[in-house]
Amino acid sequence: MSRRQLPTAPRSALRLRRLLRTGAALAAVCIITAPGLATAATAVPPPAQRTPLLVTNASFHTVSGPVIANGRMLVEGGRIVAIAGPGEALPAASSPPQVLDLGGRHVYPGFVAANTALGLVEVQSVRATVDLAEAGALNPNARALVAVNADSELLPVARSNGVLAALAVPETARGGGIAGTSALLQMDGWTWEDMALQGAAALHVVLPSMRLNSDLLRPPLDALAGELRKATAARLREIDDAFDAAQAYRRARASEPGLPQDSRWQAMLPVLDGTRPLFVHAQELAQIRHALALAERHALKLVIVGGADAWRLAELLRARQVPVIISSVHGLPLRRDDDVDARFTLAAKLARAGVSFAIARAGGPFAAAHERNLPYEAASAAAHGLPRDEALKAITLYPAQILGVADRLGALAPGRLASFIVTDGDPLETATQVQRIFIQGREVDVGNRQTRLQDKYQQKYEQLKAR
C-alpha cells in the first residue's frame, strides 16, 4: 500500500520524514509511540495432546444435535472420540485418561470468525504493523497466510471470548479489486504454519461501490458524478478482464503444459475449477447482481460477503445456492429509507427465505481488535427474529460449512477437532464468562493483554485503598 503523505512541516520534521523511510526507524517509532501494543503475546502454546481427556459433569451444546445434559466427552489425539449422556457407555481410551470434572458448566464448540483481519494487523495507526493489502488492484497471487503474525496480541483477546478459528482476509487498494487468498487459522500456535487450518480458503474480490449519494454531490460537486461512474466502471471491467485472462491462461496451459507460469492466473485456477470458492465482498444490490453475473459467466462457486441487500435477492440466492456471510449485524442501513433495524433483521430474513448464511463482523483493521464481540452480533440477530439455536449455528456450524471445514469445526461430534470452550452460561449473553479454552484437546491460556492490565490496575487500587 502507498505510504501516507506527511503534511508540510519545518526542516526538523523533514529530517524525521527521511528517517521514517527506513524500516528500522519505523520500527523504532512503533516502539516509542505504542509501547506494549506492538509487542508479542506472552502466552506459550501448549504441546500436542498426548494423554486422553475425559470431560465429565457438563452440559454439551453439540450444535449439530441436541444438548446433552450431565454428559461426558472423550477426547484423544486432538479430536472428539465420543459424547455420551447419563447411563450411556463411552469407548475405552487408549490409556488411562485425565478426568476433568466441570461441575455442571457448559461446553460449546469454538466460534468461527469468517471475516477478519486477525493476524494481519496489530496497531492500525502504526503502518509497520499493518500487512493487509498489496499495491495495485489485481493481486490474486497474494496469500494472507504468509503475512500472519502468530505473536499478535489481538489473537488471545478474541480467543478469550470463544473465537477459536478465524478467516484472515486480505484487502485491496482503494476502489476494489482482487485481494488474494484468505487463510483459516486456529487461534493458537508458534508460527503461521502451526495456526493454519486451511492455508488457502478462498479467493477474495472486493467490488467498488456502485451507488452514488446525490445528497453528497450537489453543485459544484455534481460534476464529479460522471468521473466517479467512469472510475467504477473501469475497475469493474478490470476485474472482469482478469477472470477472462485467467480463463485464457487455463486453456493455454491445458493445451501446452510447458508454457511458463504466471503466478497471478495460476492462483485463480482452483477458483475456475470450482475447487476453491470465490468470496465477493458486496453490500449493495447492484454489487450482488454483478457478483452473480460474474459467477454465472465463469461457473464459479460464489459466496457473498457483506450482503446488506441480500434479502432483496433472496429467492435468486437460494435458487443458485449462494451463501451469504453477513458482515456486521451491528451496522447502519444503506439508505435513508431503509428500516432502522435493517441490519439486525437481515439474518432472520435470509433464514426464512432458505438462504444459507453465517454471521461475521465487519472485517478490516479497526474491527480486528474487537473480534471478541462476534457472539454479540449473533445475539442481536436473535433479538430481532432469528431463532436462538440458529444464531448459535451462525457463528459455529454455518461458517464451518461455508468454508468447507464442517468435518473439523463448528460442532461437538465424534471425529471433529476438540476445539471447545467452557462457560458458566449462554455465550450469547454478555454476562457469561469463558472460563476454559481447549484447542485440539490442549488447554490454552484464557488470559490476554486486557486481563493482564485489569489484574495490574486492580492491584494498584487495592494498594491505594489499603493506605
| pLDDT, tens only, 38-89 | 456 677 899 999 999 999 999 999 999 999 999 999 999 999 999 999 989 9
CA distance 396 to 77: 22
Q: What is the pLDDT of residues 102-150, one digit of tens each?
A: 999 999 999 999 999 999 999 988 888 999 999 999 999 999 999 999 9
Q: Sign (positive/negative) of CA torsion 146, 152, 158, 163?
A: positive
Burial classification of residue 195, based on how many CB atoms lie within 10 Å of its CB (0-12 exposed, 13-18 middle, 19 or more buried):
buried
| C-alpha cell recorded at residue 215 | 445528497
Contact 170, 133 (CB under 8 A): yes
The residue extents of the domains of the chain are 44-110+410-467, 111-400
Contact 172, 227 (CB under 8 A): no
441: left (phi over 0), alpha (psi -120 to 50) or beta: left
For the segment(s) 111-400, the CATH number from 3.20.20.140, 3.40.50.720, 3.40.50.10490, 3.30.465.10 is: 3.20.20.140
Contact 192, 145 (CB under 8 A): yes
Can you name the CATH fold of 44-110+410-467? Urease, subunit C; domain 1 (2.30.40)
The percent of residues above 90 in pLDDT, for the chain, comes to 80
State the residue for C-alpha cell 437481515.
Answer: 346
| C-alpha cell recorded at residue 267 | 492462483
**Quick check: pTM over 0.85?**
yes
Strand order in the sheet with 357-360: 177-181, 203-206, 278-282, 302-306, 324-327, 357-360
Closest alpha carbon to 277 in 325, 312, 210, 314: 325
Mean pLDDT over 149-154 rounds to: 95
The percent of residues above 70 in pLDDT, for the chain, comes to 89
Who's near 99: CB < 8 A, 6+ residues apart?
54, 56
Pairing state between β 324-327 and 357-360: parallel
Per-residue confidence (pLDDT) for residue 9, from 0 to 100 = 38
Statement: residue 7 has pLDDT above 70: no
Mean pLDDT over 199-213 rounds to: 91
Neighbours of 412 (CB within 10 A): 24
Closest alpha carbon to 310 in 350, 277, 270: 350
Per-residue confidence (pLDDT) for residue 18, from 0 to 100 = 39
Who's near 376: CB < 8 A, 6+ residues apart?
330, 428, 430
Per-residue confidence (pLDDT) for residue 216, from 0 to 100 = 57
CA distance 374 to 314: 24
CA distance 418 to 396: 14
